[in-house]
Amino acid sequence: MSTLIGLGQPLSDLSSCDELVFESTMHIVQCVVSAPGKAILHGEHAVVHGKVALAVSLNLRTYLRLQPTSTGKVSMNLPNIHTFLSWDVTSLHSLLSDRTADLKNGKELDVDLVPKLRSFIGVTEGVTDPSTMAVLAFLYIYLAVFAESRELPGLTMSVWSELPTGAGLGSSAAFSVCVAAALLSAKGTITSPLGSLEHTARWSEEEMELVNAWAFLGEKIIHGNPSGVDNAVSTWGGILRYHAGKITPLSRVPMLRILLTNTKVPRSTKVLVAGVKDKLNKFPSIMNPVLESIDAVSCTCQQTLTEMASKPTPEHYDVLEELIDVNQHHLNVIGVGHPSLDRLCGVTLALGLHSKLTGAGGGGCGITLLRPDTDFAVKQNAIQELKGCGYDCWETSIGAPGVQQHSLSSIKDEVLKTRRCLMVGGELK
């Protein structure tokens, strides 16, 4: 069994998770929520220089199940990253200062609480692995949401994700959005949107604004100075336009099928961004027109997607494919391509499919558009060839719904398995 040393009491010390349910002096109700990941359709890197970017939700989702307990403990199960921890609520309560009014508004990060949390879980400032950052974000939001309560509730939070970590697909934002939605729902700050016969439902616009604000605090803890795009995409879903710090959800946009490929080539976003800036400073008369052209691609794509909302045509897909090819060439010109991404584009183009990198580039992930009439055999051949290159490949869609609440009966078995505490041979049983 894997645990984080020093972060909390390993859950193997508890006799059974089945004993930890359905009682709470604070009347917390069990809930299940999910939120999507994100990809950049067009505009990566150019957005840093004031150009338009289009961010899209991926229908690869993170699921969170929150259950009340009567044990006086807060437990956290994250099987994707082998993290299973538990804390006494009394020890957590000691972390709260008299600044509860500042905490509960969810607008500003309490910079004093974060180092207290690091000390509490026994990690130093430089430790930023996914497990540590997930624990810090969860504990911060938990304490802040319940800061004004006389007692903290015991609960078990179990998370399962379809998103790989560290791939630039918004896994941390999906986690933060799920945590915020579940804890705000548990507190009663937002109400359950589920009707008696519904399996999935979404909150009101005002309530999603609140979820997004709290999730942004989680992202600040994890990333330091995030743009807010990832958590916004995960909250609202669909397609968002990002320009000069302003985030605008696009209304009535189509869902598009894609292949999402992870080349598994590691890269440094910071180094890649700096490289583009250096090239821009060295060759401004060459690079500025390229960035303007990327901006035009994003705007043309936005216009095309808007037209497709009422009646998509084959010609619309022709335009989307051409824009993908043009933008991929742009990204190679500004220096963020990679041989692994060239191989991805070559494999798919040989099968009549069109691909581009998404995110920072230099490896990482790419997306491939699947037209509605894409032959099943073509799609399967592409997946097999890409896997043969050593890549991970998923069929999914973009433009998926944002954060949702689910009925328990609608949730897949993998999610429900996360309530089990014991790991046998490294796998959930």
DSSP 101-160: HHHHT-SS--TTHHHHHHHHHT--TT---HHHHHHHHHHHHHHHHTTTSSSPPPEEEEEE
235: number of Cβ within 10 Å: 31
Instruction: Say how far apart CA 427 and CA 189 lie, in whole Å.
Output: 36
Instruction: Say how far apart CA 45 and CA 229 lie, in whole Å.
Output: 14
- The gap between the terminal CA atoms of the chain, to the nearest Å, is 12
Apex 233 CA angle, 232 and 235, nearest 5: 65
Instruction: At 153, list the tokens.
Output: 């509730």
112 is catalytic: no
The catalytically annotated residue of 131, 230, 295, 340 is 230
258: number of Cβ within 10 Å: 25
DSSP 284-331: HHHHHHHHHHHHHHHHHHHHHHHHHTT---HHHHHHHHHHHHHHHHHH
Pair 175, 214: CB distance under 8 Å: no
Phi/psi-derived region of residue 107, left when phi > 0, alpha when psi is between -120 and 50, beta in every other case: alpha
What is the tally of helices (H) and strands (E) in the chain? 13, 16
**CA within 13 Å, CB half, 70:** 8
Instruction: Say how far apart CA 296 and CA 301 lie, in whole Å.
Output: 8
The catalytically annotated residue of 172, 176, 340, 355 is 172
Instruction: Say how far apart CA 178 and CA 205 lie, in whole Å.
Output: 16
- Please tell me whether residue 218 adopts helix, strand or coil conformation: helix
230 is catalytic: yes
Residue 21 phi/psi, 5° resolution? -130, 155
30-67 CB burial, b ≥16 within 10 A, e <16: bbbbbbbbbbbbbbbbbbebebbbbbbbbbbbbbbbbb
Instruction: Say how far apart CA 147 and CA 114 lie, in whole Å.
Output: 14
- Please tell me whether residue 56 adopts helix, strand or coil conformation: strand
What are the catalytic residues?
Answer: 172, 230
